[in-house]
Amino acid sequence: MAAKRILIIDDEDDIREVAQLSLEAVGGWEVATAASGMEGLEKAAAEQPDAILLDVMMPDMDGIATFQQLQANPTTGHIPVILLTAKVQSADRQRFAQLGMIAAIDKPFDPMELADRVTEILGWNC
């Protein structure tokens, strides 16, 4: 079976790096990264990842706007999106769910548990 491919869209270098290392080492997945919503949209369309981890708070185009554009594009609308966010209030979570996001992983996250959380959320069998 081919390795799962994940795209991480986050403007923070450290978060991208830690998440990438974690998902590659623990999950055994192929990981691509993008530092902005616009770059993420381009990579998602070109690379067709199996899932996207998306930061909520980013300059220029935030995670919500990025998600909405991903959903509106027929080539990326089917890709499951999991938010990476420090916004953990229940009102925020309800809003994310209403927009169609399947789950949110809180920042800071435990790098050793990130792959397991993604697997659990997406129902993937390792």
Q: How many CA atoms lie within 13 A of 9 on its CB side?
A: 30
Tokens 């185009």 found at: 61
Which of the four pLDDT bands, split at 50, 70 and 90, describes residue 1?
A: low
CB 17 within 8 A of CB 23: no
Place of tokens 């795209």: 7
Region 18-25 average pLDDT = 97
Q: What is the mean pLDDT of the chain?
A: 92
Contact 49, 81 (CB under 8 A): no
Tell me: pLDDT of 2 over 90.
no
What tokens does 38 get? Answer: 């616009």
* pLDDT tier for residue 105 given thresholds of 50, 70 and 90: very high
pLDDT band at 28 (very low <50, low <70, confident <90, very high): very high
